[in-house]
Amino acid sequence: MSAPAVEDVTGREGTDQPVVVIGAGPAGLAAAEHLLDAGVQVVVVDGAPAVGGLSRSIELWGHRFDLGPHSFLSDSHPESVARWLDLAGAVGGVERTEAVRSAVWRGRVVGFPPSPAQVLRTVGALGAARLAGGRVAATLDRRGPAATAHEALVARHGRAVVEELFVPYTRKYLGAHPRELSAAFADKLQGTRRGWSGPVDLLTPREGTGAVWEELARRLRARGARILLDTRVVGLSTSGTRVTGVQVRDAGAEFGIGARAVVSSVPAPVLLRWLPGTRAPAGPALRSRDTHLVHLLVEGPVGQDSHYVTAYDESLRVGRLTNTRVWRPGTFRDEPRTALCAEFWSSGDDDLAARSDHELAQLAVSELPAFGVDPRVRVLDHHVLRLPRSVPVLTLGVEAARADVDEQLDRFVNLARVGRHGRHDWDGQEDSLLTGRSIGAHVLTADA
Ligand SMILES: Cc1cc2nc3c(=O)[nH]c(=O)nc-3n(C[C@H](O)[C@H](O)[C@H](O)COP(=O)(O)OP(=O)(O)OC[C@H]3O[C@@H](n4cnc5c(N)ncnc54)[C@H](O)[C@@H]3O)c2cc1C
């Protein structure tokens, strides 16, 4: 891209050029804070109308909702937890509860993990013996390191459990069989911080997850950072191995912002397209899945009081259903209604993506009884939100693709990548906070 006309959006004549941070999600905001701590001037640009990225909250029917159930993991990196609790504490505080989870498994709603009696009822004595036997065999099997997520999961849970639960789950969620996924995905899923079947401690901000990031943005602005919303980055300008600015588009115009360095939280393949002399990553693409969220305003008996229900049945298109009233107890406190949030996942070119909002809402409503929702519940309204490229897929060979991206992008001496998409990892907010705060000295000390 040719160098755009560069504008000093800091409005302070004669000051150094800022570091431009692309994305006002958790990673971008954490990076901006880190830069301010180092005494560097910062401009954050985001194409969305609000801060928080995928962790923002939206206003519907007089209440605030997160994009799907959003909690912070209390047993994640202590530095991230402390930082997040400080922010959440300033905006209404935090609810701390142990998650009550359910699952739709072979057409039944069971607790998660299911009790022995539920297992017996669902798969019978022979099936239960197969599941238990598979687990025992797995503990006795002493193979070397797993090459795929499937091998890693079988080694931990036994083949029968993997076929029953993990295969339908990853096919629905990630559009891939565990054999097509990296062993790193199994580690992420199983990691002590994201237990698969152990108790999950939920930390949820009373004012919504987005309030935490709004508070961080407020603090950054108070310290002099500029945060430009509704302002989309459409390209970068470079000179040799330096990035010299970002090209942005807002409602009115396209203009450039000169930058002494750039920190990006956009997907790596997008960044590659903006830079000269780069190509799409070799090997399997750094694939991401889309999420489609359907919020349903309902009245009457809901009959489903888990925090969320995950559907392991591939016959159901909804992947997870959250009762927002249970998720955040303050919501709908004195009202005879609640909102249910149905999550669908797709690859952008399948039939889910092609459905209209109304059709998607109808599909969600038709599947509610399978999730244990009382068929008498009345649906009063719906709202559909599409989140393209919201779930990075850790395909087999993702490590090689990442290494190729690193090699191409590390050439640019004043460019850093942060966050879930910048690093293409199946990360939560805590990871984005951490990567945002760990940008290298090359960005902090880049000469203007
Ligand atoms: C349904 C769902 C449920 C989740 N549940 C949890 C949970 O319970 N706990 C948890 O910790 N995490 C959860 N996550 C993950 C969490 O939302 C993300 O890990 C986190 O928001 C990532 O932060 P980030 O800053 O790296 O990326 P993002 O939040 O995606 O922020 C990236 C920002 O970059 C902006 N951007 C992109 N392209 C451009 C461009 N060209 N120009 C300008 N701006 C641009 C976007 O608008 C966005 O604001 C969930 C995610 C989803 C989709």
| CATH architecture of structural domain 288-392 | Alpha-Beta Complex (3.90)
Atom of ligand 1 nearest to the CA of 387: 53
Closest C-alpha among 84, 28, 66 to residue 203: 84
CA–CA dist 16, 297 (Å, integer): 50
Alpha helices per DSSP H over 141-208: 149-157, 159-161, 167-174, 183-190
Dist. CA 53 → ligand 1 center (Å): 4
* Test site for ligand 1: of 172, 386, 429, most ligand atoms within 8 A of the Cβ: 429
Query: What pLDDT does 196 receive?
Result: 61
Q: Is 141 helix (H, G, I), strand (E, B) or coil?
A: coil
Find the helix or strand (DSSP H, E) in which 349 lies. none
Q: Is 340 helix (H, G, I), strand (E, B) or coil?
A: strand
Dist. CA 25 → ligand 1 center (Å): 6
User: 26, 208 in Cβ contact below 8 A?
Assistant: no
Distance of CA 70 to the CA centre of its chain: 9
| Tokens 């990296």 found at | 182
- Domain locations in the chain? 6-62+208-282+396-444, 114-197, 288-392
Q: How confident is the model at residue 350 (pLDDT cuts 50, 70, 90)?
A: confident
Atom of ligand 1 nearest to the CA of 26: 25
Which residues make Cβ contacts (< 8 Å) with residue 322, sequence separation at least 6?
Answer: 68, 69, 307, 308, 340, 341, 343
Enumerate residues lining ligand 1, CB below 6 A. Answer: 22-28, 45-48, 53-55, 67-72, 232-233, 265-266, 291, 343, 387, 390, 419-421, 427-430, 432
6-62+208-282+396-444 and 288-392 share one fold: no
Q: How confident is the model at residue 447 (pLDDT cuts 50, 70, 90)?
A: low
Dist. CA 278 → ligand 1 center (Å): 25
Residue 193: pLDDT above 70? Answer: no
Atom of ligand 1 nearest to the CA of 28: 25
| CATH architecture of structural domain 6-62+208-282+396-444 | 3-Layer(bba) Sandwich (3.50)
Alpha helices per DSSP H over 69-115: 78-89
Atom of ligand 1 nearest to the CA of 48: 47
Taking each helix axis from N to C end, the angle separating 429-436 and 26-37, rounded to the nearest 10 degrees, works out to 30
Residue 301: pLDDT above 90? Answer: no
Question: Which amino acid would we find at residue 420?
Answer: R
Q: How confident is the model at residue 10 (pLDDT cuts 50, 70, 90)?
A: very low
CA–CA dist 334, 321 (Å, integer): 22
Query: What pLDDT does 192 receive?
Result: 45
- Give this complex's ipTM: 0.99
Atom of ligand 1 nearest to the CA of 418: 26
Parallel, antiparallel or unpaired: strands 261-264 and 415-417: parallel
Least reliable range by pLDDT among 4-13, 318-327, 383-392, 396-405: 4-13
CA–CA dist 231, 227 (Å, integer): 10
User: 341, 294 in Cβ contact below 8 A?
Assistant: yes
Closest C-alpha among 205, 216, 208 to residue 51: 216
Dist. CA 52 → ligand 1 center (Å): 7
